[in-house]
Amino acid sequence: MINKEIITHSFEDLQEAICTELNILDGVSAFKKDTWYRREGGGGVSAIIESGNLIEKGGVNFSAVWGPTPGHIREQFQYEGDRFYATGVSIVLHPSNPYVPIIHMNIRYFELDEHIWWFGGGIDLTPHYIDLQEAGLFHARLKAVCDQHQAANYQKFKTWADDYFFIKHRAETRGVGGIFFDRLSQPGEKEVIFDFVRNLGQSFVPLYKEIANRKRSMPFSERERQWQFLRRGRYVEFNLVLDRGTKFGLETNGRTESILMSLPPMATWKYDYQPQKDSPEWHTLQSLKKNIDWAHA
C-alpha cells in the first residue's frame, strides 16, 4: 500500500536524480545542497545552482513538512484538519541565454489528519522569446505523458495552467503555459494518481534537455539580454503577488531562501515599456494569451 513515507522517499530520490542529470547537462556549475529543518516539524533539502554554463540561477527543492494546520491555511483548504503533512519537489531554472526559456515544475502531496489526501502539481514554460515549434514540442510531450494515465487529462490540465499562470494585473500569461492540477484525489486511486505524478516528475529532465539543447548555443546581443531582464521582472511579479506555493511557504514559516530560489538572478523594470511594433519582443507579447492550442499552433 502506498503511503506518505513511500511518496516522500520517491520525491527525495527524484530530486537526487534530477540534480545529477542537470549537473551533467549544465557542464560547468554544480548544485550546492543545504538541509534545513522547520521548528514545527519537517524540513527539506534545497539544491541550488548559480553561474552555470546553461543555468544562470536555479533550484531543485525537496521538502516534507508537517504539524498543526495554521488557521488561515485551514480556510484555504476548505477542509477541517488539525494536522497537515505536505511533501513536494519544486524546480525553477533561469537560463543565461535569453533564447532558452525559464522552466518550472512542481509536484506535491498533501495529507490532513491522515485520511484526507490529494496530489497537485504543474509544469510551465516561460520563453523570453516565444517560438511556436518549441511551445508545440513542450505541449506535445506533456500531452503524451497525460495520455498514458487515466488520472490525467491534458485538455483540462492545460486550461487550468492557462488560468493559474496568468498575471492578472498585466493581463498577460506568464509564458506558453503547460499543465496544472490540484486536489487530485479519488478513494482507492492513490497509487494510480501517484503513478502519473511520479511519471511527470521523471519526464522533467528529458523534456528540459530537449528544449534547452535546441538553443543554448544561439548567439545573442545586449538587446536580447535586456529583454530577458524585463521578462524576469514579470516572473518576479507572478511569484510574489500571485503564486500560491510561495504564499503557502511564507505563511507556514518555511525557509525563505528555499522558497524564493524561484526569483531570477537579475531583473529590471522600465516604466511603461512598449517594444517596437512587429519586433520579436512585440510578437512575444501578442502571444501571451490564454486558450492558445500550442500543441497545434
Residues 17, 22, 27: CA angle, nearest 5 degrees: 135
- As measured in angstroms, the least distance from the Cβ of 263 to its own copies is 4
- As measured in angstroms, the least distance from the Cβ of 238 to its own copies is 10
Is-contact 227 30, C-beta < 8 A? no
Residue 156 vs 270, nearer CB to its own copies: 270
Residue 81 vs 264, nearer CB to its own copies: 264
Residue choice 13, 50, 195, 224 for contact with its own copies (CB under 8 A):
50
What residues contact 245, with CB distance under 8 A and at least 6 apart? 90, 106, 108, 259
CA pair distance 237, 93, nearest whole angstrom: 17
- Reduced to 3 states (helix: H, G, I; strand: E, B; else coil), residue 30 is coil
Residue 17 vs 240, nearer CB to its own copies: 240
CA pair distance 112, 77, nearest whole angstrom: 10
User: Choosing from 104, 128, 169, 296, which is the catalytic residue?
Assistant: 104
Give catalytic status of residue 104 as yes or no. yes
Q: Which of 68, 66, 57 is nearest to 91 (CA)?
A: 57
CA pair distance 184, 146, nearest whole angstrom: 14
Task: Give me the 148-187 binding string for its own copies, x by CB under 8 A, dash otherwise.
Answer: --------------------xxx-----------------
Residue with cell 511533501: 87
CA distances from 272 to 23, 269, 275 (A): 38, 9, 10
- As measured in angstroms, the least distance from the Cβ of 59 to its own copies is 7
Tell me if 116 contacts its own copies by CB under 8 A. Answer: no
Residue choice 3, 150, 217, 268 for contact with its own copies (CB under 8 A):
268
Q: Give the DSSP per-residue string, 145-166.
A: HHHT-TT--HHHHHHHHHHHTE
Residue choice 34, 163, 210, 293 for contact with its own copies (CB under 8 A):
34
Tell me if 2 contacts its own copies by CB under 8 A. Answer: no
- As measured in angstroms, the least distance from the Cβ of 268 to its own copies is 5
Residue 100 vs 261, nearer CB to its own copies: 261
- As measured in angstroms, the least distance from the Cβ of 266 to its own copies is 5
| Packed helices 4-26 and 190-202: angle between N→C axes, nearest 10 degrees | 10
How far from chain centre, in Å, is Cα 272? 28
Among positions 194-253, residues that touch its own copies (CB under 8 A) are 229, 233, 236-237, 240-241, 250
- Reduced to 3 states (helix: H, G, I; strand: E, B; else coil), residue 76 is helix
Residue choice 66, 260, 275, 285 for contact with its own copies (CB under 8 A):
260
Q: Which stretch binds its own copies (CB under 8 A): 37-45, 74-82, 180-188, 255-263?
A: 255-263
What residues contact 111, with CB distance under 8 A and at least 6 apart? 4, 84, 85, 86, 117
- As measured in angstroms, the least distance from the Cβ of 252 to its own copies is 11
Tell me if 271 contacts its own copies by CB under 8 A. Answer: yes
How far from chain centre, in Å, is Cα 158? 14
Which residues are marked as active site? 104
Question: Which parts of this chain interact with its own copies (CB under 8 A)?
Answer: 32, 34, 48, 50, 57, 59, 168-170, 229, 233, 236-237, 240-241, 250, 256-257, 259-261, 263-272
